[in-house]
Amino acid sequence: MPSDFRPPASTPRRTHFEVCVLPYLDAAYNLARWLTRDDADAQDVVQEAMLRAFRYFDSFRGGDARVWLLAIVRNTFYSLRAKGASDDAHESFDDDTHGLIDEQLSPEARVLLAVDVRALHAALGQLPHPLREAIVLRELEECSYKEIASITGQKIGTVMSRLARARERLKTELSRSSTEACRHDV
Amino acid sequence: MMCDDARLLLHAYLDNELDASQSVAMEHHLRHCSACAAQHADFLQLRAAFTQASLYRRAPDALRVQWSFPEPTSAANAAPARTRRAPIALSMAAGFAAALLITLPAFYALHRHDNANLTVEEAISGHIRSMQPQHLMDVISTDQHTVKPWFAGKLDFSPRVKDLANAGFPLVGGRLDALDGHDVAALIYRRRLHVINLYQWPVSSETAAVSVSQQRGYTVIQWTDEHMRFVAISDVEESQLQQFVQLFRNDAVSPLMR
Ligand SMILES: [Zn+2]
């Protein structure tokens, strides 16, 4: 994080920005935190995204400021990540090759008796970014398909199949961890 | 509707994204297909798990403060005050106040009021600074018997350390800090997602009444017990910080210096 950062000087524009955008700081951080899976990185992403948002604020013509800000957060994350070029920076994800739904449900994976929150944390963090951002926006931010589509720049149909796939995978992961837990108990 | 269609549409159904006729068809299918109904129940449970508060990661205070712009008037007033508040000037002021204490109680009361405000400001900046990554804790431990000895040799006093985990305020660590011109011990407690900083340092006065102030979304509670000055700060609700202070003080009354 730039330590010499100073908020822009007080102007009516700034007040307007504060009223429109600042209420969504938690939403911005939540998305950034789930994409980066790291506190410091998430702060960097949000800091940069907020600066970009402030810079482009004149081009924001009303509408949903939350969707607008979340799209900036997401773009900031992917651009910083590409710059960093870490090992998984070029994680590829192809919506078509995955089929609409993962066909891997074994019979014992079908009943989800209880969801362990820690296991859910871990399973969510392991999802590929396209699935993770979709499910985070849907379940934690309660965005509609249309909002997710405009934040992620995808078609609504893609959003739907990504959500389906994300949930199938979470369920499989959680069923696996609960059966493992059961075996440990015996 | 066939199960294959239902498997995909189930999600749009869960998310309230189907139109009326599709919803009716889905409901009908779920009533007659136990496999899809079981799927539906699982995903409902998954959704319920997502409502756990710990999954939602709120912005840290530091970020919020950085992007919260103070009222123009208070900003204008605060700016010059900030430049005058150099650490050296501060400790001299404290010494000056101590001298006045003997002769001029009325003036002292006035000054003490200003000094308390200053402490509030400093406590808030200290709290915000502590929320920066890697700045919160020098020693990370939930064990008071680890945290307390850690301060030995680093400070010329022994801070009072108390674990309040049973009451929902787990101790998570400690660090050295400076406040009001003093080297102070800072204990870090958590209340769910919130952090509480508790500063303490020795003073000459035996006791002083509890004072509560609110600023910039933070609550600061100050008090003195048996020659130890305490300042607690957090963004938790005031009632919760009050509760924290009460718990900490209750313990301090009974056999304390552990
Ligand atoms: Zn079916």
CA distance A37 to chain B (A): 10
Residue B63 contacts A, CB cutoff 8 Å = yes
Start-end of H helices in B51-86: 61-67, 72-84
| Angle value at C-alpha A107, between A103 and A109, nearest 5 degrees | 80
Residue B140 contacts A, CB cutoff 8 Å = no
Residues A69 and A49 sit within 8 Å (Cβ to Cβ):
yes
Q: Which residues, including other chains, have CB under 8 Å from residue B124's CB and lie 6 or more apart?
A: B215, B216, B218, B220, B233
Look up residue B178 and give its DSSP letter: E
Is the CB of B75 less than 8 angstroms away from the CB of A10? yes
Separation CA B222–CA B210 (nearest Å)? 6
Mean pLDDT for A148-176 is: 92
In this prediction, residue B228 has a pLDDT band, given cuts at 50, 70 and 90, of very high
In this prediction, residue B101 has a pLDDT band, given cuts at 50, 70 and 90, of very low
Residue B154 contacts A, CB cutoff 8 Å = no
- For residue A117, give the nearest of B43, B47, B49 by CB distance: B49
CA distance A14 to chain B (A): 8
Domain range summary for chain B, segments of one domain joined by +: 3-49, 113-257
In this prediction, residue A127 has a pLDDT band, given cuts at 50, 70 and 90, of very high
CA dihedral B138, B139, B144, B145 (to 10 degrees): -130
Residues B223 and B114 sit within 8 Å (Cβ to Cβ):
no
Separation CA B122–CA B203 (nearest Å)? 17
Mean pLDDT for B19-26 is: 92
pTM for the model: 0.55
Q: Kindly list the residues from chain A whose CB atom is less than 8 angstroms away from the CB atom of residue B49.
A: 115, 117, 120
Mean pLDDT for A46-61 is: 84
Separation CA B212–CA A180 (nearest Å)? 50
Residue B126's nearest CA partner among B171, B184, B168, B165 is: B184
Query: Complex ipTM above 0.95?
Result: no
Residue B162's nearest CA partner among B222, B245, B91 is: B245
Lowest mean pLDDT among A60-69, A156-165, B127-136, B206-215: B127-136
In this prediction, residue B110 has a pLDDT band, given cuts at 50, 70 and 90, of very low
- For residue A29, give the nearest of B8, B63, B72 by CB distance: B63
Separation CA B131–CA B127 (nearest Å)? 6
B208 burial type by CB count under 10 A (0-12 exposed, 13-18 middle, 19+ buried)? middle
- Per-residue pLDDT tens digits for A6-42: 455 556 666 778 778 888 999 999 999 999 999 999 9
In chain A, which residue's Cα lies nearest the Cα of B66? A7
Please check whether the domain covering A100-186 is classified as CATH 3.30.70.1400.
no
Separation CA B22–CA B1 (nearest Å)? 10
Residues in chain A: 186
- For A87, the token pair is 């090992």
Domain range summary for chain A, segments of one domain joined by +: 11-89, 100-186
At the topology level, CATH places domain A11-89 in Rna Polymerase Sigma Factor; Chain: A (1.10.1740)
Mean pLDDT for B79-108 is: 35
In whole angstroms, how far apart are CA A67 and each of A25, A115, B127, B195, B230?
Answer: 12, 30, 31, 29, 44
| Mean pLDDT comparison of A125-139, A171-185, B48-62, B150-164, highest-scoring range | A125-139
Q: Kindly list the residues from chain A whose CB atom is less than 8 angstroms away from the CB atom of residue B12.
A: 145, 160
Ligand 1 centroid to B43 CA: how many Å?
Answer: 14
Mean pLDDT for A124-134 is: 96
Flag whether pLDDT at A185 surpasses 50: no
- Per-residue pLDDT tens digits for B213-225: 888 788 899 999 8
Ligand 1 centroid to B2 CA: how many Å?
Answer: 6
Share the mean pLDDT of chain B. Answer: 75
Please check whether the domain covering B113-257 is classified as CATH 3.30.200.100.
yes
